[in-house]
Structure 1
Amino acid sequence: MAEEGRLLGIVTLRDLARRVLAGGLDPQGPVALAMTPDPVTLPPDAIGSDVLHLMVERGIGHLPILGPKGLEGIVTRTDLTRFHAESSADLEGDAARAPDAEALAAVTARLPAMLARLAGAGDRHDVVTRLLTDVADAVTRRLLVLARAELGPPPVPFLWLACGSQGRREQTGISDQDNCLIIDDAAQPDHEAYFAALARFVCTGLDRCGYVFCPGGMMATNPRWRQPLRVWRRYFRTWIERPDPEAQMLASVMFDLRPIGGELSLHEGLQAETLEAASRNSIFVAHMVANALKHSPPLGLLRGLVTLRTGEHRNTIDMKLSGVIPVVDLGRVYALQGRIATVNTRARLAAAMAAGVISEAGGRDLIDAYDTIADARLAHQARQLREGTRPDNFLDPATLSEFERNHLREAFLIVRRMQGAVAQGRRLP
């Protein structure tokens, strides 16, 4: 989605210049401007190459940005260097060295700028969400280290796992936390206090870093999701053997589990045996298919885009519940049918196609449709961040060009077609 006024495809000069006036970048810029008679300037809609060319041509290091109402800020060589140098690797490194949760919160506070920069540069959604999730993983692992430093070594091995969007490596600009704890079966009743304190330390730290507490309580602080391995085996066995509505929901969440820190072997055996048992139970698979069809693409009878009709987000499309979630649910069903261990949605679709669970043509179409929907969602959030508003999942289709709306509608039609195929238990040709 091309946008005018990018700074090397990342952010507008107006946005960057305002950071200078707000004290976020090189403080010497305004001083240099005051001392320069008749300075060279650029408008806010100039692009990054304009800045670089002018700086090199004139041998200058500061450029005032002038809008219709006067000075909007100043861009300097230092600003450009700093802005381009920061990457997810920088944030992960800073997280790994953070001395406390407050320092970690300062690291995650830089994530919105990274999201806006990557999405503005045209990076694909799965690359951006993977990098955002990598930072969340690094923050979680650092909190585990800090918890151990405060509480002492664990009495028995354990494994911290993420589920939800972090588990699938699909975090965007708005993410709550979904996590759980698997404890070694050697744990004794008096060990519970240690792991309760560990969960409280890590979950509270994540909340402070912007990964807010899960509204549904799907966190390690909930004793239900902080259990020995034998209990987790019983959970999955019960959900598979008696797939009531709650079991469907819980199984859907837990099939996205991904280890973050601790003893990896606690998950490896559990995942393999659960996939095996679940895929062989046709009743459970049927329930999971039904669960995957609860969220429909936002299409009307005449195949037009349908927006929310009431409430705060009237006339918008929920790009999470009606956009990406239907594809996430399909990917989970395909993974179950093909006993596919990976939990990332796009990777699941590719693996399902390779395994013959879905046809090559159907798989390619669905991956393209998912990319279109997820890219539109992420571009919407990046645009909100650049405008200084809180990101959400509610996209007003009126903000899109006719070309973009047509592509989005076609993507939703493909998802609907694939839902129909899985409902009938058939492969698309």
Structure 2
Amino acid sequence: MSEEATFFLPVRDYCHHNLITCSINDSVIAAAQLMRERKISSLIACDDQGQPVGIMTDRDLRGKVVADGLDPRTLKVSAIMTSPVISVKEDDTLFEVLYRMSRHRIHRIGVVDEDNTLVGFINESDIIRLQNRSPQHLLRSIDEAGNIEELRRINAEGEQLIVFLRRNGVGTTNLVQLIALINDQLTDRLIQLLKQQRFPDMGRNSTFMVLGSEGRREQTLKTDQDNAIIYADHVTAEELREIEDFSRELINALIAIGVPECPGGIMASNDFWRRSLSDWKRTVNVWIENPRSENIVNFGMLSDMRGLCGDRQLEQELRQFILEKAQNNSIFMTRMAQNVVNFSQPLGWFGRVKVERKGPHAGKIDLKKAGIFTITEGIKTLALSVGIFGGSTLEKLSQLKTRGVLDKKQTADLEATFSLLTGMRLRSQIDAADAGEEITNYVAPETLDRVEMGRLKEALEVVMALISTLRQHFRVDMLRG
């Protein structure tokens, strides 16, 4: 296995299991002496029952004690430790570690077993030893980039890295996670650069959000922008102008580094997708009261929102508002399900897979239209109707199974189908990128062998079963007009 592929091995293969702990009631100076004796840079802080509740690092000593001129003999570990301990599961991949480290701006992370018991720790230095041609190197390059041109180059390298990793046997799920992480980091770095150059106060009274597949972290190589902004109701006219200027510069910067603009205009630079919290609530109400197809699509897009920077309280309040509206408006949710049901019937007479009849992709299968859209939007609709908001499609499936909305077999079938269709789409896109061809959602039937074609037909039968579930669950056939 290549060194790049080791990033997709389980964390248990890399973490340290010899945990060194202290009590939250120990003095900081005693804890620091223990760190010096054991030649370590952090300690796990445990409560009176011996349960890990925080971590004290040499960084905490520098930033919270020495820099403030405090006496470490008078402080307890509980006063300076970081809590709770950010952790990953033993079976998670090293990419999950990288993601958590990047999002939380930390250099070490806990490892827990299936019982959620802390069993180890992993440091950034444990990963850094891998060679430069690696996801870690790419992510570091993003964090260190000083201008748009550097980020444009790195974005192109990211696509090449995905192609390389796929050729080396890395699975679809891990590649999709990596694509999401790279895109998040690129956007985050652009925002940092814009804040340094012109907009130091950006995010104080606003939130920049990604929507759609990016909000679900389910992007493949064919991706464009879907984003929006919420700002506080009390912003001044001057602050609002700054938010407008920032949104336009950010969207232009994303285009400049190689992230295409959304053909439908779903971008924060568009006034329609940049609103105050109260205006967003009013707009959601309008969509629900007028369940036209366009309004349903917009509602679905917003229902995948995920904040990348800014005031997360704004995001949480809008999330809660959308969730309450979804649960209290059964007719709208039925219309939403109807929109999914009517979108596509992937199989024709005698179970034949439908292909495009005309146009530049005639004879090819649109994998998004055939099943991916139906699964993502259908599962999202089911999830919203029972109070589940956000997360990936697989995460929503798991929660729907837990709540008894879907049974164990149908959940397993849908998980396998979604992974198969996403994998086929990503493989087709990687082949196109490798050959310098247009990246699309289409796959040519002749590129699939007999076994793959059989699996595709079985997968689309599962999609048809989901359509039936949506019809029955929401009583779609009882709607008029």
Q: What TM-score results when the alignment is normalised by the length of structure 1?
A: 0.77
Does residue 138 in structure 1 map to residue 185 in structure 2?
A: yes
SS at match of 2:184: helix
AA aligned opposite 2:456: L
Corresponding residue for 2:139? Answer: 92
SS at match of 2:344: coil
2:424 counterpart (376, 382, 403) = 376
Per the TM alignment, residue 263 of structure 1 is displaced from its structure 2 partner at its CA by 1.3
Higher RCO structure (Cα 8 Å, ≥6 apart):
1
SS at match of 2:351: coil
Corresponding residue for 1:25? Answer: none
SS at match of 2:230: strand
Per the TM alignment, residue 328 of structure 1 is displaced from its structure 2 partner at its CA by 0.9
Identical-residue share of aligned pairs (%) = 28
Corresponding residue for 2:464? Answer: 416
Does residue 407 in structure 1 map to residue 458 in structure 2?
A: no
Number of residue pairs aligned between Structure 1 and Structure 2 = 351
Please tell me whether the aligned partners of residues 4 and 133 of structure 2 are also in contact (alpha carbons under 8 angstroms): no
**Aligned pairs (5 A) from 1:171-250:** 171-250=219-298
AA aligned opposite 1:329: E
Deviations along 1:323-352, one digit per CA (max 9) or x if unpaired, are 311111112112112211223112111221
AA aligned opposite 2:206: F
Corresponding residue for 1:63? Answer: none
Per the TM alignment, residue 173 of structure 1 is displaced from its structure 2 partner at its CA by 1.0
SS at match of 1:302: helix
SS at match of 1:424: helix
* Structure 2, unpaired ranges of 5+: 6-128, 476-481
Corresponding residue for 1:152? Answer: 199
Q: 1:9 to 1:194 in 2, by over 3 A?
A: closer
RMSD after superposition: 2.3
Corresponding residue for 1:397? Answer: 445
Corresponding residue for 2:342? Answer: 294
**Aligned pairs (5 A) from 1:20-419:** 85-154=132-201, 156-419=204-467
AA aligned opposite 1:362: Q
SS at match of 1:180: strand
Q: 1:96 to 1:294 in 2, by over 3 A?
A: farther
In structure 2, C-alpha distance between the alignment counterparts of 1:9 and 1:142, rounded to whole Å: 23
Q: 1:224 to 1:409 in 2, by over 3 A?
A: same
In structure 2, C-alpha distance between the alignment counterparts of 1:415 and 1:306, rounded to whole Å: 13
Q: What TM-score results when the alignment is normalised by the length of structure 2?
A: 0.69
AA aligned opposite 1:418: L
In structure 2, C-alpha distance between the alignment counterparts of 1:352 and 1:85, rounded to whole Å: 41
Please tell me whether the aligned partners of residues 120 and 379 of structure 1 are also in contact (alpha carbons under 8 angstroms): no
In structure 2, C-alpha distance between the alignment counterparts of 1:335 and 1:317, rounded to whole Å: 28
Per the TM alignment, residue 83 of structure 1 is displaced from its structure 2 partner at its CA by 11
In structure 1, C-alpha distance between the alignment counterparts of 2:131 and 2:450, rounded to whole Å: 33
Per the TM alignment, residue 372 of structure 1 is displaced from its structure 2 partner at its CA by 1.2
Q: 1:303 to 1:9 in 2, by over 3 A?
A: farther
Deviations along 1:242-264, one digit per CA (max 9) or x if unpaired, are 32222211101111111111111
Deviations along 1:103-122, one digit per CA (max 9) or x if unpaired, are 11011011222221233334
Q: 1:349 to 1:240 in 2, by over 3 A?
A: same
Please tell me whether the aligned partners of residues 8 and 121 of structure 1 are also in contact (alpha carbons under 8 angstroms): no
* Structure 1, unpaired ranges of 5+: 1-5, 11-81
Deviations along 1:233-281, one digit per CA (max 9) or x if unpaired, are 2222222233222221110111111111111111112112311221221
SS at match of 2:229: strand
In structure 2, C-alpha distance between the alignment counterparts of 1:152 and 1:337, rounded to whole Å: 39
AA aligned opposite 1:115: I
